[in-house]
Structure 1
């Protein structure tokens, strides 16, 4: 088989399926990943994300995850917002939900697309494949940089000169030995916009992130009560944070999203409306959304922090309804919100 010709055919197939970019690297193309991950965990910067410390050998080396793999195909799928996601931060009585969680769960959408491309590869070549979308011990961002898709910026997220900031990553591991792309290098220059805008100062240094201070981690991954020092800095963000992505100058090259499933449907609902949801109503309201995975208790805790940050004493009555909540973090958040608004 002419692997160079197949690579181009594969790229065209991926683009036809809806992906916006493709790159290929070797499974062992990120030799420093394991040491970087080990240092990160040793510093405790992963917070409560114990899964980062598990299967470190696999997570640190794609070659260890599946020794038979000869190539890693990295694919990008854009979800670019239509407007500036930071505009909602001024609407303090409404909830700010991260752009990536506004529509349908990207895990489902990207994985279906990956499987279609992978099935075509198997039928065409007989090669073996495995597909991954953020659900296995695969460090997609270093692999994507090695595959030339983009580079990890000073905020540690992946940037692209062709796509901007707003894109998901999917991976296809294959036994095919395909031509590699040239790894990308950083083009951040002297810019520190992403570091400067972070409300909680979650970046100890450029290209380093302490998840324990990151609003995305705090609102989505962190269980229990959030440090009172950090609560006022959450603002009305109840799920994730887009500040460091939204401010990046490379977004002038952002590509328009074509997948209708990423179209905004959650919007910026009133905090009072969200605070009234019981567990069943929460599950119904966020069915098919990444928000559902966090569970009602963590969700309501975040809504109450946002109510406390709203500056509107009229919302005290809403917070009072949750003072006796069975979840201690929710009850504590209600009391904090009442005290703050009083």
Structure 2
């Protein structure tokens, strides 16, 4: 029996290093506009104004490129080679989310997507567009519509085949490919991801209030963080993996396809070392890393919160030089850290 183009596409995607490949149609996510509108109306998006500004496209993938007839959804594993929660037991160290412990995934995934897209064009006359996170594409909804996985109670995509440690990418094409069946929910009665959240960022299962999420607070939120929330951030200085790390479906996680995702940052750095970085040193240290995008000031603010949460009075000296930092959020964080440690 002759293999179809789609059969060969899936085979090529796996050969490129993707963990899974599925297909849906751009119009297969009709509930996204309503869900997105409710999220924004509730204010759950916080300072992420781009979500509201791009709602027409993010809510309707067919409007992003009307000529597209199929969406090829792909998952690329970045499964950790260590316990991502172990660093939380060491308050003198800075905890960095697994996805940011190596090279920037945007570059790696996009290059892989482009190679797959070029292969597809070589097989059949068509047009293609590739997207990785930065475009207004509802990747999670499309992933579920394509059968790639489902949005769990932590709102991230997970799968019975590869767990939840995966980046999502998509190839929109004018080819009319056969669509896969959508995936159904398999979370069952499990509430592990809800129970472990340090800031109670889930008002209910499948709903995330980003304003309370540590990943949002350390990456997207500018300015000082609310006192109650900064005290709950622990030593998490970039992102948070708690809800991902406890998912039982990770017993099926597949090995990361590219070891560049696990770079030098896998070894947690001392907070004392990190807090001393000036702008030039910060840029040099995190060159090629997604961490570089938040800038020195926000990063140092996060490190100072971690110092304040460490309970280690000896770290007051490391925070003291920053009490008169030019950035208001940094100087505020330094004063807060010193005051908190003085009362420890």
The TM-score, its normalising length taken from structure 1, stands at 0.98
User: What are the Cα deviations for residues 78-108 of structure 1, in whole angstroms up to 9, with x where unaligned?
Assistant: 0000121001001000000000000100000
Look up the match of 2:116: 117
Q: Secondary structure at the match of 1:295?
A: helix
What's the CA shift for 1:4?
6.8
Q: Is the 8 A contact 1:305 1:337 kept in 2?
A: yes
Look up the match of 1:231: 230
Look up the match of 1:243: 242
Q: Is the 8 A contact 1:4 1:179 kept in 2?
A: no
Query: 2:262 aligned with 1:287, yes or no?
Result: no
Aligned pairs for 1:303-314 within 5 A? 303-314=303-314
Q: Is the 8 A contact 1:101 1:289 kept in 2?
A: yes
Look up the match of 2:133: 134
What's the CA shift for 1:3?
11
Q: Is the 8 A contact 1:4 1:178 kept in 2?
A: no
What's the CA shift for 1:126?
1.6
Look up the match of 2:301: 301
What's the CA shift for 1:264?
3.5
Measure the CA separation in 1 of the matches of 2:33 and 2:121: 30
What's the CA shift for 1:153?
0.3
Stretch of structure 1 that moved more, 110-119 or 3-12: 3-12
Q: Is the 8 A contact 2:152 2:158 kept in 1?
A: yes
Aligned pairs for 1:248-259 within 5 A? 248-259=247-258
Look up the match of 1:272: 272
Residues 286/3 of structure 1: CA separation in 2 closer, same or farther (3 Å cut): farther
Q: Is the 8 A contact 2:18 2:257 kept in 1?
A: no
Look up the match of 1:90: 89
Q: Is the 8 A contact 2:147 2:180 kept in 1?
A: yes
Q: Secondary structure at the match of 1:179?
A: coil
Look up the match of 1:204: 203
Query: 2:166 aligned with 1:167, yes or no?
Result: yes
What's the CA shift for 1:182?
0.6
User: What are the Cα deviations for residues 114-162 of structure 1, in whole angstroms up to 9, with x where unaligned?
Assistant: 0000011112212000000001000100000000010000010001000
Measure the CA separation in 2 of the matches of 1:249 and 1:264: 26
Gaps of 5+ in 2: none
Query: 2:328 aligned with 1:321, yes or no?
Result: no
Measure the CA separation in 2 of the matches of 1:118 and 1:80: 25
Measure the CA separation in 2 of the matches of 1:52 and 1:94: 33
Look up the match of 1:66: 65
What's the CA shift for 1:205?
0.4
User: What are the Cα deviations for residues 26-63 of structure 1, in whole angstroms up to 9, with x where unaligned?
Assistant: 10000000111011101110000000001211100110
Measure the CA separation in 2 of the matches of 1:249 and 1:71: 32
Measure the CA separation in 1 of the matches of 2:111 and 2:180: 25
Measure the CA separation in 1 of the matches of 2:84 and 2:332: 29
Runs of 4+ in 1 over 6 A off after TM superposition: none
Q: Secondary structure at the match of 2:13?
A: helix
What's the CA shift for 1:258?
2.3
Q: Secondary structure at the match of 1:173?
A: strand
The alignment of Structure 1 onto Structure 2 pairs a total of residues equal to 341
Look up the match of 1:28: 27
Query: 2:213 aligned with 1:214, yes or no?
Result: yes
User: What are the Cα deviations for residues 169-224 of structure 1, in whole angstroms up to 9, with x where unaligned?
Assistant: 00000000000101001100000000000000000000000000000000000000
